[in-house]
């Protein structure tokens, strides 16, 4: 599993290298004689014009060597925590494991037409208004619609 995560992390780490090169160039203050950049597009075109397309891949090998093992460790950690705490993220429980304790969180039934990580998202954010010391107001569809109408009326737009 560690190897599979690291292997999957290689293209993930390398394909974002051009964006990281641009980000790094924008973060570093230009010294005397160096090119200064005023934004994303400006940085992209100046690097392309002055250094060529290969400049966007500088450091790709180092990024893969640093990041791909991190992907492997993250995958192994996720899988082990799921097994140890019997979290149901839509996967299968390992054969021979203890019965899953009943959850204290009541989750709405996922829409069967939905494609994606709905169950994971609901489990992650269920009760977030009181988790981590946060005390956020609860919003319902009706209160969100009323807030949107109020915002429109405050802006002078017709409802």
Write the pLDDT tens digit of every residue in 59-113: 899 999 998 999 999 988 888 877 777 655 555 555 665 555 555 555 555 555 5
- What is the predicted pLDDT for the residue at 57? 92
Q: Looking at the domain assignment, is residue 141 inside a domain?
A: no
Domain count within the chain = 1
Q: Looking at the domain assignment, is residue 104 inside a domain?
A: no
Residue 6 in this model has a pLDDT that exceeds 80 = yes
Q: Looking at the domain assignment, is residue 46 inside a domain?
A: yes
Tokens of 53: 């397309």
Q: Which residue range(s) make up the domain with 63?
A: 2-85
Share of the chain above pLDDT 70, in %: 53
Please give the radius of gyration of the chain, using alpha carbons only, rounded to the nearest integer.
Answer: 24
Q: Looking at the domain assignment, is residue 31 inside a domain?
A: yes
Cα(113)–Cα(106) distance, rounded to whole angstroms? 21
Write the pLDDT tens digit of every residue in 24-69: 888 887 777 788 888 889 999 999 999 999 999 988 999 999 989 9
- What is the predicted pLDDT for the residue at 40? 87
Tokens of 74: 């993250």
Q: Looking at the domain assignment, is residue 122 inside a domain?
A: no
- What is the predicted pLDDT for the residue at 81? 79
Cα(137)–Cα(128) distance, rounded to whole angstroms? 10
Cα(144)–Cα(132) distance, rounded to whole angstroms? 24
Q: Give the pLDDT band (50/70/90) at residue 136.
A: low
- Among 9-23, 91-105, 124-138, top mean pLDDT goes to 9-23
Cα(8)–Cα(72) distance, rounded to whole angstroms? 8
Contact 7, 69 (CB under 8 A): no
Count of residues making up the chain: 159
Cα(20)–Cα(18) distance, rounded to whole angstroms? 5
Q: Looking at the domain assignment, is residue 57 inside a domain?
A: yes
- What is the predicted pLDDT for the residue at 36? 85
- What is the predicted pLDDT for the residue at 79? 82
Helix (H) or strand (E) holding 81: helix 60-85
- What is the predicted pLDDT for the residue at 130? 58
What is the CA 56 to chain-centroid distance, rounded? 23
Specify the residue for token string 């790094």. Answer: 24
Cα(45)–Cα(63) distance, rounded to whole angstroms? 23
- What is the predicted pLDDT for the residue at 140? 56
């Amino acid at each position: 599993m560690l190897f599979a995560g690291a292997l999957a992390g290689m293209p993930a780490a390398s394909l974002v290298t051009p964006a990281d090169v641009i980000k790094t160039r924008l973060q570093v203050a230009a010294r005397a004689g160096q090119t200064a950049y005023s934004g994303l597009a400006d940085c992209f075109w100046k690097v392309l014009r002055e250094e060529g397309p290969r400049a966007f891949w500088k450091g790709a090998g180092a990024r893969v060597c640093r990041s791909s093992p991190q992907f492997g460790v993250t995958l192994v950690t996720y899988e082990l925590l799921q097994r140890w705490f019997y979290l149901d993220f839509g996967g299968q429980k390992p054969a021979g494991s203890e019965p899953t304790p009943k959850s204290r969180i009541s989750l709405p039934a996922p829409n069967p037409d939905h494609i994606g990580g709905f169950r994971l998202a609901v489990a992650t954010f269920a009760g977030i208004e009181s988790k981590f010391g946060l005390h956020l107001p609860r919003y319902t569809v009706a209160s969100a619609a009323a807030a949107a109408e109020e915002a429109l009326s405050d802006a002078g737009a017709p409802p």
